[in-house]
Amino acid sequence: MTADRTKRNCLAVILAAGESTRMKSSKSKVLHPVAGRPMIAHVVDALARAGISDIALVLGRDADKVEAAAKNAAVKNSVHIQTERLGTAHAVLAARDAIAKGYDDVLVVFGDTPLITDAPLKAARDGLAKGVDVVVIGFETADPTGYGRLIVEDGELIAIREQKDASEAERAITYCNGGLMAIDGRKALDLIDRIGNDNAKGEYYLTDIVEVVRASGGHAIAVEAPEEELTGCNTRAELAVIERLWQQRRRLEMMLEGVSMIAPETVFLSYDTKIERDVTIEPNVFFGPGVTIESGALIHSFSHIEGAHIAADAEVGPYARLRPGANLGEGSKVGNFCEVKKAEIGRGAKVNHLTYIGDAIIGEKTNIGAGTITCNYDGINKHLTQIGAHAFIGSNSSLVAPVSIGNGAYIASGSVVTMDVPDDAVAFARARQENKEGRAVLIRARNQAIKDAKKKAAE
């Protein structure tokens, strides 16, 4: 028996064939996102971190989509379709061909437990490496009502007793079955094949494997995981609970790594959000996928950021939206009520307020005035706006792409720029102002006459 887990191979069987009836959804529940990622992808990621490279996906509904969601460069997946629903043991046997290849360890997990981490998975495999036949992952809870109880004597797992079958003393046990388990791969098929269906539902329950093992002279133990890691999902309400728990855990990790969050409970992260130390995040900020923020940046309240890179000491918001492709240089600023999409904002450049920058390159130290718009879309194609370094774009300017504005150039406020502007030039692109003396009096008189006529007609 190899006592070192790292020298043993392992097959993980993910059970994800449920109909998801209680989710009231048009798609499989394991496709529903947690932190912007399908929940089954979280499970696969935990398996990969635990050093498991082979996974058997037991699928039913939306099999193709679930298979795609479970793809991970660190693992190799095989797909096994479960056509009947005859209990968890029967579901595992849908992957019989994979199990029969002869792994040292077989790990059984569920596709709807996205909070699981690699620690309990490794602990379960460590038990197998020491010669145990079955290791059940359990949890302690203040309220065990409804859970199967783990009956442990002298370190041995004697049985898993369902609530309806438990004695009064057994119901007082707070050590409960989490559903996940590891099985000696050389014995897995034989043990599971020996599980019967002598129960009210006529189903084959994987939990009965403990009694099968003990009846054959084998050994079973339980290892403990935090209760929240084993939280499963059957309804939208439970999905919301899982999201809350995931967010709490990741926020705490980030704050312990040196990120400041003024009101952490109002900050929402994605599974791949990367934030370096000494970043400050004010309340009510949402991060979609693909965000990286470097040290010293400040994110003001009510900002929505996805697919963006924010360099050191940059400032965003409040009420800013950064869309995919936004790349903010060191010390740059995108201020309140601004939107940036697929654009490079140079070092120290400022896009302070009420502005849309899309498909653009802005040089360092350039100032973009309030109300500026890069007119990047002609109804069919997107076009690029290029603005050099140390330029000044006056307020309420429209830059009609494709257009290039040189280094140090000035754009007069209110201009509609349709031609390139050379370095250090000043561009005026607006109609000449004319003042009509006394015309306002005539307009007011006309408007009042119209109003009086409408009132008389109504009478």
**DSSP run (H or E) holding 248:** helix 236-256
Instruction: Say if strands 416-417 and 398-400 run parallel, antiparallel, or are unpaired.
Output: parallel
Structure tokens that stand for 442 in this block: 């005539």
DSSP 8-state secondary structure symbol assigned to residue 23:
G
First to last CA, the chain: 100
Mean pLDDT value across residues 57-67? 95
Side chain identity, residue 296: G
Round to whole Å and give the CA distance between 415 and 402. 16
Examine the residue annotation and report whether 353 is marked as an active-site residue of this protein: yes
CB 263 within 8 A of CB 283: yes
Vertex 116 angle, CA 13 and 243, to 5°: 120
Mean pLDDT value across residues 328-343? 98
Catalytic residue among 80, 309, 353, 390: 353
Written as one string, the DSSP assignment of 103-163 is -SEEEEEETT-TT--HHHHHHHHHHHHTT-SEEEEEEE-S--TTSPEEEEETTEEEEEE-G
Of the candidate ranges 112-116, 152-156, 392-396, the one whose mean pLDDT is the lowest: 152-156
Residue 454's pLDDT is what?
92
Round to whole Å and give the CA distance between 439 and 441. 5
Greater pLDDT, 434 or 32: 32
Residue 200's pLDDT is what?
76
Mean pLDDT value across residues 385-400? 97
CA torsion sign, 240 to 37 to 96 to 120?
negative
**pLDDT band for position 227 (cuts 50, 70, 90):** very high
| Integer CA distances (angstroms), 284 to 59, 247, 302, 317, 404, in order | 38, 13, 5, 11, 37
**pLDDT band for position 5 (cuts 50, 70, 90):** confident
Residue 295's pLDDT is what?
98
Closest CA to 372 of 401, 415, 321, 316: 415
Structure tokens that stand for 130 in this block: 């020491």
**Which residues are CB-contacts of 155 (< 8 A; sequence separation ≥ 6)?**
221
Mean pLDDT value across residues 75-97? 93
Strands, E assignment, 276-329 = 280-281, 285-287, 292-293, 298-299, 304-305, 309-310, 315-316, 321-322, 326-328
pLDDT greater than 60 at residue 183: yes
Side chain identity, residue 178: G
Residue 18's pLDDT is what?
85
Residue 263's pLDDT is what?
98
Residue 459's pLDDT is what?
82
- pTM metric for this prediction: 0.90
Greater pLDDT, 432 or 387: 387
Structure tokens that stand for 155 in this block: 């370190």
How many of the other CB atoms lie within 10 Å of CB of 12? 29
pLDDT greater than 60 at residue 150: yes
Q: What is the largest CA-CA distance in the chain?
A: 107
Mean pLDDT value across residues 348-353? 97
Residue 57's pLDDT is what?
98
Residue 348's pLDDT is what?
98
Round to whole Å and give the CA distance between 227 and 225. 6
Residue 2's pLDDT is what?
58
Residue 163's pLDDT is what?
85
What are the two backbone dihedrals, phi and then psi, of residue 277, each rounded to the nearest 5 degrees?
-65, 155
Which residues, in sequence order, are bridge partners of residue 339?
321, 356
CB 142 within 8 A of CB 172: no
**pLDDT band for position 393 (cuts 50, 70, 90):** very high
How remote is the C-alpha of 117 from its chain's centroid? 15
Residue 1's pLDDT is what?
52
Instruction: Say if strands 134-140 and 175-184 run parallel, antiparallel, or are unpaired.
Output: antiparallel
Structure tokens that stand for 285 in this block: 């900020």
